[in-house]
Amino acid sequence: MKKIEAIIKPFKLDDVKEALNDMGIKGMTISEVKGYGRQKGHKEIYRGAEYIVDFIPKVKMEIIVDASQVDEVIETIIQAAKTGKIGDGKIFVLPVDEVVRVRTGEKGVEAI
């Protein structure tokens, strides 16, 4: 099992969610995060006041899937989240040792 963490642009959340639903991904965790990568923060000056945007708002999605699904999920996220401009985001894949469903105690792929 793997955990896929995707950092995407906030306005792409619905598209990505829908695309993942369509391919049968049933659950995910979403959080509002801030950060920067190559799309560095920037400074705007308006009427003499400086507005510094050092961390840029993004959405982080976390999805746990069976290892066999990883490529498909990644492809789906890229398709849905891509605008072709800087700041489209990143995808990380991490190993997951175990998944347990709290209600039933089920383990492994069954519990995803």
Partner 1 sequence: MLCETPTLFFNQAGHKDVFSEMAQTALEPKNYSGLQARRQALDAYWQQGVGGNALLRKHSDFIDHHLAESFKKSAPAAEGFALVALGGYGRQELYPFSDIDLMILYDPAHKDELNSLVETILYPLWDTGLEVGHAVRTPDECMAFAAEDFFFRVAMLDARLLVGSATLFGKLTEMYKKAYIEGRRQEFLDDMLKQRTKRESQYGRHTYLLEPHIKEGCGGFRDIQSMVWTAHVVFGLKDLESLNEAGLLSQEELNRFEQAQDYLIRIRNRLHYVSGRKNDQLFFEHQKELAQAFGFTNKEELLGVEHFMREVYTHMQTISVTTDLFFEHVEEVLKGEESSKKGKVLEPDIEVKHGRIHLVNSEHLKEKPKLFMRLFYQSAKTGKPLHFRTRKAITAKLHHIDDKQRHSRRNAKLFLEILLSAKPFSVLEDMLDTGFLTSYIPELAKVESLAQHDVYHVFTVDRHLVQTINELEKLREEEVNIYTVISSPHILFLAGLLHDVGKGHGHGHAERGADLARQVGVRLNLKTDELDTLDFLVRNHLFLSHTALRRDLEDEEFLMRCATRIHSPGLLAMLYLLTIADARATGPTVWNDWKAALLLELYLKIVLLLDRKDISEQEQTRSAELGARWIREKVYELLPEPDDIDFDLYSDDYLLSFPPEVIAEHITQAKKLKKQEVLFSHKPNKESWSILVMTKDRPGLLTRIFGVLALHNLNVLAAKIFTWADGTVVDTIEVSSAISESYDGQDWTAMGNELHLAIQQRLGLEFRLSRKLAPLRNKPQGVQQRLAAKVKIDNRASELYSVIEVFSEDRIGILYDITKTLSDFGISIYRARISSKADQIVDVFYVLDHDGKKIEDPAFTNELQQGLLYAVKNV
Query: Which parts of this chain interact with partner 1 (CB under 8 A)?
Result: 9-11, 14, 18, 21-22, 32-34, 44, 46-49, 51, 53, 55-57, 83, 85, 87
Gap between the Cα atoms of 7 and 9, Å rounded: 7
Residue with smaller CB distance to partner 1, 1 or 58? 58
Gap between the Cα atoms of 26 and 102, Å rounded: 17
Residue with smaller CB distance to partner 1, 76 or 93? 76
Residue with smaller CB distance to partner 1, 53 or 67? 53
Q: Supply angle C-alpha 20, 62, 27, rounded to 5.
A: 50
Residue with smaller CB distance to partner 1, 14 or 110? 14
State the nearest-atom distance from the C-beta of 71 to partner 1, in Å.
15
State the nearest-atom distance from the C-beta of 102 to partner 1, in Å.
19
For residue 7, give the 3-state DSSP assignment. Answer: strand
Query: Which residues are CB-neighbours of 57 under 8 A, at least 6 positions away?
Result: 10, 32, 33, 34
